[in-house]
Amino acid sequence: MLWRKWHLCYWIVVAKLTSNVILLTPLIGAGGQDNDPLVVTTTNGSVRGLLINHTSGNSVRVFYGIPYAEPPLGVLRFRRPVPKMSWSGTLDATIKPNSCVQALDCIYGNFSGSIMWNANTNMSEDCLKLNIWTPHPNPQNVSVLVWIYGGGFYSGTSTLDVYDATTLVRRENVIVASMNYRVASLGFLSFGNDVVPGNAGLYDQHIALRWIKENICAFGGDENRITLFGESAGAVSVGFHLLSPLSRPLFTRAILQSGSVTAPWGFQNNATARKSATALAAAVNCSTSLGNETLKCLQEKEAKAIIENEVWGKGVVDFPFVPVQDGVLIPDSAQNMSVVGAFNNTTTVLLGSNANEGSYFLEYFLGLPPDADPENVTEENFTAVLKALNPVMGEPPMNKVLEMYGGVIPNTTDGRLSVLDAIVGDYHFTCPVVQLADLLSQAKARVYQYLFGRRSSKNPWPKWMGVIHGEEISFEFAEPLNTSLEYDEVDKNLSGIIMQYWSNFSKTG
């Protein structure tokens, strides 16, 4: 349970540079000129982007940090986002935006496998911005992929190097957009009442999707071919938008990677949400009445103090602030929202998981070394993991669980890790994905499934962890094609295939 210490390194920001491009060209000259390809007029005002040239001769325009909502500061903290007002002049969209306030993972020091997910831009509550990559010269009616990052709803940012969509856009002639949304308690605090109904971070995503739907034509995109794709908590988010009557008209297709609205960690009932809110309020010396007095007190606290005082659960995969049923964006449970007949055969969904989803979470829960296979995972460790599989539901019947995985606790470290990886991965990821696929299929959607089974040649985690949670992300965003990183040829070829599959899905389903 080492991740509980993340608050200790809250303000550390790691910045890195990529080497996929040979030139960054900002706009020179007056903004808003009709013949200037780097200036686009949106419903809010004009934006100026960058031109990224490549050795292939194909170029990509990038627009960073376009605001889609007003900064959620002061009395707007914990509230649903307010759409951005118009601006005058031309907005500079050449610099990556702030990341939303969050804790950072410093548990394993500077180990590359963990810090690659840490926010790499300054953190601020003024973070509700989106990014757009588009082929150059200006395309006409190309399909659009909208990325929603994961991070357990407690972390994540659209600015990570691994989410750079330049090569994907350049190779596949698609547009890619991504947005920052509030995370942790700042994004998912819920009092279980009308004072703070929760899901502010999901509403951030929703407002960003509305903005993209209304403006993507100006960037050369087809508003009728918008595909959401996300991983882990991002996939859960995609699933809720897919089921939500509020969000469903804003996109056409969906890709869910290693996450499902039916996952036990991806949704809370109001009673559990109130417990998390009460614990946070008490920790920062606010009233625990969960009324207006509590809200006002929390809105007056420093963002850092709020994040540092979140009280975590004791589960293997267990996050304190996640989506709840709010009666509007999420009007009901996932099962009830996906009733038979809710979709038709024009709704197309691709979803899947990785071969070893559980290993990443075991690594942290058991405090295993990040750079070597563990020497001794005991029977007590094994039992502790099973007991913590889902603390909200209580201890599972161990014998029943073991019956599905060989019947006995293995007598070697390798054997115990293998079985635990399967149990945790199945319970929290693979089975919920299959369950959602079944629900969507029963509801007449067209459903495709995949299993990702390639361990990257540059995966820095120990070999026992296999094809870890999040493994596929670097492939879909072309990291193996960055020659400076020296991936092997299998990875390079697979990256090209994955990009083509995802892009073709966005184009034709």
Active site residues per annotation: 232, 357, 469
Measure the CA–CA gap between 213 and 130, rounded to whole angstroms: 13
Measure the CA–CA gap between 407 and 386, rounded to whole angstroms: 14
Bridging pattern class, strands 129-136 and 142-148? unpaired
Whether the Cβ atoms of residue 182 and residue 123 lie closer than 8 Å to each other:
no
Question: CB 155: neighbour CB atoms within 10 A?
Answer: 24
Extract the tokens encoding 86.
């118009």
Give exposure, 482-499, as e/b (b: 16+ Cβ within 10 Å).
beeeebeeebbebbbebb
Measure the CA–CA gap between 460 and 360, rounded to whole angstroms: 12
Whether the Cβ atoms of residue 398 and residue 383 lie closer than 8 Å to each other:
yes
Q: Is the dihedral of CA 44, 146, 56, 472 positive or negative?
A: positive
- For residue 108, the Cα-to-chain-centroid distance in whole angstroms is 22
- For residue 386, the Cα-to-chain-centroid distance in whole angstroms is 26
Question: CB 6: neighbour CB atoms within 10 A?
Answer: 21
* Secondary element (H or E) of residue 46: strand 46-48
In DSSP notation, 444-484 reads T-EEEEEEE----TT--S-GGG-SBTTTTHHHHTTGGG-GG
Whether the Cβ atoms of residue 494 and residue 476 lie closer than 8 Å to each other:
no
In angstroms, what CA-CA distances link 21 with 54, 55, 152, 368? 6, 8, 31, 37
Measure the CA–CA gap between 106 and 1, rounded to whole angstroms: 13
Report the 3 state secondary structure along 304-349. HHHHHCCCCCCCCCCCCCCCECCCCCCCCCHHHHCCCCCCCCCCEE
Whether the Cβ atoms of residue 457 and residue 472 lie closer than 8 Å to each other:
no
Report the 3 state secondary structure along 133-163. EEEECCCCCEEEEEEECCCCCCCCCCCCHHH
DSSP structural state of residue 371: S
